[in-house]
Homo-oligomer: A and B are copies of this chain.
Amino acid sequence: MDFSSKLLEQAVDEMSQLPGIGKRTALRLVLHMLKQPESQTKQLADALTKLRTEIKLCKNCYNISDTDLCAICANPSRNSEIVCVVEDIRDVMAIENTDQYRGHYHVLGGKISPMDGIGPSQLSIKPLIEKVQAGKVEEIIFALSSTLEGDTTNFYIYRQLEGIGIKTSTIARGISVGDELEYADEVTLGRSITNRVPFENSAKN
């Protein structure tokens, strides 16, 4: 694209670095900003700068937090002996929304993915193992997505925990509530039969 303005070009270039935002979308967004009051662009720029410079990771669970210890880890009514291993804060938010879980989390910050150059050392796996070795954890729940990377990460952590004698589980895979069986994929349907639950437990929610 041939811009008549270097300032515009720079803004579009920076904007299009974001994932899923091409040059055209970036231009549309930037032109929209130019039509809005100047204060709105300032607020966005400030919020991004502040986030990037002041944000912390909870020193216990590595979730994004404004404080040293996140609200979940700091809450005494939550069970710190059950730890749910997730990829990022979006998974924490999704599980919190269910109101079904009162344990702690451990946020890995990603999944092992050699293709993207992400190895175990870039993730917060070591602190998790140390927490378990310190005898502070009773059960680990793996809640990573069931992709190649998710399964690899689960398995890597599982191997590290071998011999410590800790209870491990993964979240149940099965047919979504309200879904029709005929449209379910075979792997999911297969797992939902293999891991069937006693009928009297099925409505516990």
Binary CB contact string for chain A from 1 to 14 against chain B (1 if under 8 A, 0 otherwise): 11111111011011
Beyond contacts A14-B48, A15-B44, A20-B28: 11 other A-B pairs, Cβ-Cβ < 8 A, are A4-B89, A5-B65, A7-B51, A8-B89, A10-B47, A11-B47, A19-B29, A27-B90, A34-B51, A34-B52, A42-B52
- Which one of A92-100, A130-138, A178-186 is at the B interface? A92-100
Question: Does A32 count as interface, using CB distance less than 8 angstroms?
Answer: yes
CB-CB contacts below 8 Å: A123-147 with B: none
Question: Does A38 count as interface, using CB distance less than 8 angstroms?
Answer: yes
What is the total number of residues of chain A having a CB less than 8 Å from a CB of chain B? 62
- Are A34 and B55 touching (Cβ within 8 A)? yes
Main secondary structure of the interface of A (DSSP, over half): helix
Q: How distant is the Cα of A11 from the Cα of B66 in the complex, in angstroms?
A: 13
Question: Does A176 count as interface, using CB distance less than 8 angstroms?
Answer: no
- Are B19 and A51 touching (Cβ within 8 A)? no
Chain B residues with CB under 8 Å of A71's CB are 4
Question: Does A17 count as interface, using CB distance less than 8 angstroms?
Answer: yes
- Are B63 and A38 touching (Cβ within 8 A)? no
CB distance from A111 to the nearest CB of B (A): 13
Which of A7, A43, A88 counts the most chain B CB atoms within 10 A?
A7
- Are B49 and A42 touching (Cβ within 8 A)? yes
- Are B72 and A4 touching (Cβ within 8 A)? yes
Q: How distant is the Cα of A10 from the Cα of B38 in the complex, in angstroms?
A: 18
